[in-house]
Amino acid sequence: MSDYVADFMAHIKAKNPSEPEFHQAVKEVVESVTTVLDKHPEYRKAKVLERISEPERVIMFRVPWMDDQGGYHVNRGFRIEMNSAIGPYKGGLRLHPSVNLGILKFLAFEQVFKNSLTTLPMGGGKGGSDFDPKGKSDDEVMRFCQGFMSELYRHIGPNTDIPAGDIGVGGREIGYLFGTYKKIRNEFTGILTGKGLNWGGSLIRPEATGYGAVYFAAEMLATRGESLEGKTCLVSGSGNVAQYATEKILDLGGKVVTLSDSGGYIHDPDGVDRDKLAFVMDLKNVRRGRITEYVEKYSSATYTAVDPGADCNPLWDHKAECAFPSATQNEINVKDAENLVNNGVYVVSEGANMPTVPEGVDVFLNKKILYGPGKAANAGGVAVSGLEMSQNSMRYSWTREEVDSKLHGIMKSIHKSCVEASEKYGTPGNYVNGANIAGFLKVADAMLDQGIFG
């Protein structure tokens, strides 16, 4: 680690104690952009890195809600408004018991660079709560969302901050949040993305993150004259991103042999075909069940419970060519990364945000595999959110084909930006540096243009 990075990180850690995920995300970007700062002293002079790693605003609030038995509960709500240099704050809301300030700051920080890569005018933000939607009734989730929005509405607006979904927030939650905003403000506006199709949502938004991660993998493979046809793929998660990554892998002729949830994973050597995927979608989205039910229905598959404290996750220890981690942060540790490459995996396209620990990323970079980091590979979701905002502003909607083709074009453009930036700054083939540098430059230049408040 250079002295500059070490000093910078000491300052970040002192100022933001007990936020390891935030430190991890910042360190990766600082390491990547050091060469840019060396070439362009104007960024150092204007303290762009110091400013970019300090949220413009952090909102923390109480969310009281009542359960079906009349019992009172209180959770903590957050919105991190990280950076608005290139557009209004934009980013998802996460509902998961692990949510805390540091996790949301890491996600908001990543979002700034990701949104910059999309080519669309969106700043970065993230929010959520430590509320656990698992096991709650629809009414309880609705009352929680109403409580959450009854505070959040003061801070957001269609030209200020536009939230969307993330872990634990899908169409159902966006509906309850939207209804509450509309009631309080008496205003029908594109305040959230991921809306239902008949009340302002965009076609392809549910599919966009998973499809985008697969388009990104296809672009990386194309640099070697290859495609996804016939490739065996490991997918983790079984939520929104994992489901549509699986669908697009099937479209492009690949085979998905794993899916997971926080309890464990299924391995189906015959592959998850379209019927099995439809079963998983119903299981997870409608019945809100567990992935273990897959093996009760399909005898070709086995289920393995995963101990989060174990030294590796057996999901990543199967023969395959491609991996699409699509569950959560730091789900691939260094041993998992070694297992992946030893099993023949040479394409990793991250549907999740920061799913690989830094030492695992080093394994991928040292082996020179095709490694697409989350902020590039999963940018398709927020990109179509940006397209949803455009359609809302126009009071218009594009067809499925139009949105999919724009998404595909954006993923190609992100891939190209990463390749070009990594080459220009001396690390060809390193998509981590490419994504960080390309994402950084656009935001940093906007901050310079706008002066000290930019």
Question: What's the rounded Cα separation, in Å, for the pair 100 and 399?
Answer: 38
Instruction: Map the footprint of ligand NDP across residues 50-69, applying CB under 6 A.
Output: none
Residue type, 209: T
Residue type, 131: F
Question: What's the rounded Cα separation, in Å, for the pair 328 and 69?
Answer: 32
Q: Tell me whether residue 126 is one of the annotated catalytic residues.
A: yes
CB of 198 to ligand 2IT, least distance (A): 19
**Using CB under 6 A as the criterion, what x/- string covers residues 307-346 for binding ligand 2IT?**
----------------------------------------
**Residues 332, 325 contacting (CB under 8 angstroms):** yes
- Interface residue with ligand NDP among 128, 163, 254, 381 (CB under 6 A) is 381
Cα 106 to chain center, whole Å? 11
**Strand pairing report for 124-129 and 72-83:** antiparallel
Q: Per DSSP, what are the bridge partners of residue 83?
A: 124
90 binds, among ligand NDP, ligand 2IT, none (CB under 5 to 8 A by kind): ligand 2IT
- Interface residue with ligand NDP among 87, 123, 168, 372 (CB under 6 A) is 168
Residue 188 neighbours by CB distance under 10 Å: 12
87 binds ligand NDP (CB under 6 A): no
Instruction: Map the footprint of ligand NDP across residues 304-363, applying CB under 6 A.
Output: 326-328, 351-353
- Interface residue with ligand NDP among 31, 207, 219, 261 (CB under 6 A) is 261
351 binds, among ligand 2IT, ligand NDP, none (CB under 5 to 8 A by kind): ligand NDP
Tell me the torsion sign for CA atoms 235, 241, 247, 252.
negative
Side-chain half-sphere CA neighbours of 233 within 13 A: 33
**What six digits make up the tokens of 47?**
């303290």
- Interface residue with ligand 2IT among 116, 118, 150, 193 (CB under 6 A) is 193
Site size toward ligand NDP (CB under 6 A) is 25
- Interface residue with ligand NDP among 32, 180, 209, 433 (CB under 6 A) is 209
Question: What's the rounded Cα separation, in Å, for the pair 156 and 135?
Answer: 29
**Residues 445, 46 contacting (CB under 8 angstroms):** no
344 binds, among ligand NDP, ligand 2IT, none (CB under 5 to 8 A by kind): none
167 binds, among ligand 2IT, ligand NDP, none (CB under 5 to 8 A by kind): ligand NDP
Cβ neighbours of residue 222 under 8 Å, at least 6 residues apart?
A: none
Q: Closer CB to ligand 2IT, residue 306 or residue 382?
A: 382
| The one catalytic residue among 126, 276, 284, 375 | 126
**Using CB under 6 A as the criterion, what x/- string covers residues 344-383 for binding ligand 2IT?**
---------x---------------------------xx-
Question: What's the rounded Cα separation, in Å, for the pair 147 and 75?
Answer: 10
Question: Of 160, 190, 179, 187, whose CA–CA distance to 391 is shortest?
Answer: 190
**Using CB under 6 A as the criterion, what x/- string covers residues 121-140 for binding ligand NDP?**
--------------------
Residue 413 neighbours by CB distance under 10 Å: 15
Catalytic residues: 126
Binding site for ligand 2IT (CB under 6 A): 90-92, 111, 114, 164, 166, 193, 353, 381-382, 385
